[in-house]
Structure 1
């Protein structure tokens, strides 16, 4: 009984809201661990997807390699960078390694930037259509900057 003489929800057999939950608040997942933010999930999906495509379509990445790198190293470097990008995704998804994942992701994006510059200087990619043009290569350059910022923000905030 309550102080006013009425029955509590438990005594009357009624349902009680779960402790710590409010309407519209899903709360932590059943495991009790916090879910990654949309920011983390988005960057992890982008890095993981890009990493996987290094194995599904390696020739597309081989042609982006700077001219200064010997051709026999293109495929091993393509696969290696794919492994690093998948690793970045995994590190971002794990709460304990997320900050390091943000750092490694930013470093990876900075490391591949010279290949994008070389693509511009060489006149684009050796593929037909607008996507292989020098104009498309120039337009891709500034896209790296928000991705680097995104990774560094995850590093700073931890998610």
Structure 2
């Protein structure tokens, strides 16, 4: 039985769910796009959602799983600045919102490790 942190289909589902969320409620994602990125935040929201959808498809398919899972690990590292912005913006919010924002920061590491494990266990 696969361990949760090595399940490729669960990782693909997480990525696909995040992609749908980016399309369904883009405003909440727009708010965490770092200001230093050029262009409109909405463009980055949709681009990251499209990337998550492509990564989900790649991780789900055995032939592309290894490369897609490594790309997902890199993606999780790449979106970390958005989580930092979310935490910084939450400094003056309610304790519950601060807890959610701060709690997201350490969750990136397990996501990176999960994607790396999926890549390592992929059969070529």
Bucket of the pairwise TM-score, normalised by the shorter protein:
0.7 to 0.9
CA contact (8 A) 1:124 1:136 kept: no
Larger Rg: 1
Distance across 1 between alignment mates of 2:22 and 2:40: 14
User: Taking structure 1 as the reference length, what is the TM-score of the superposition?
Assistant: 0.67
Alignment partner of 2:48 out of 66, 81, 87: 81
SS in 1 for 2:55: helix
State the number of aligned residues: 118
Q: How does 1:48-63 map to 2 (within 5 A)?
A: 48-63=16-31
Distance across 2 between alignment mates of 1:125 and 1:63: 15
The equivalent residue for 1:93 is 60
Distance across 1 between alignment mates of 2:67 and 2:20: 21
User: Taking structure 2 as the reference length, what is the TM-score of the superposition?
Assistant: 0.85
Higher helix proportion, which one?
2
Matched, 1:138 2:102: yes
Distance across 1 between alignment mates of 2:72 and 2:37: 22
SS in 2 for 1:122: helix
CA contact (8 A) 1:105 1:148 kept: yes
Q: How does 1:21-60 map to 2 (within 5 A)?
A: 39-60=7-28
The equivalent residue for 1:103 is 70
Where relative contact order (Cα < 8 A, 6+ residues apart) is larger, the structure is 2
Residue 124 of structure 1 and its aligned partner are, at CA, apart by 5.2
SS in 2 for 1:123: helix
Gap regions ≥5 residues in structure 2: 1-5
Moved over 3 A (4+): none
Residue 122 of structure 1 and its aligned partner are, at CA, apart by 2.5
Gap regions ≥5 residues in structure 1: 1-37
Flag the 1:41–1:68 CA change in 2: closer, same or farther, 3 A.
same
SS in 1 for 2:62: coil
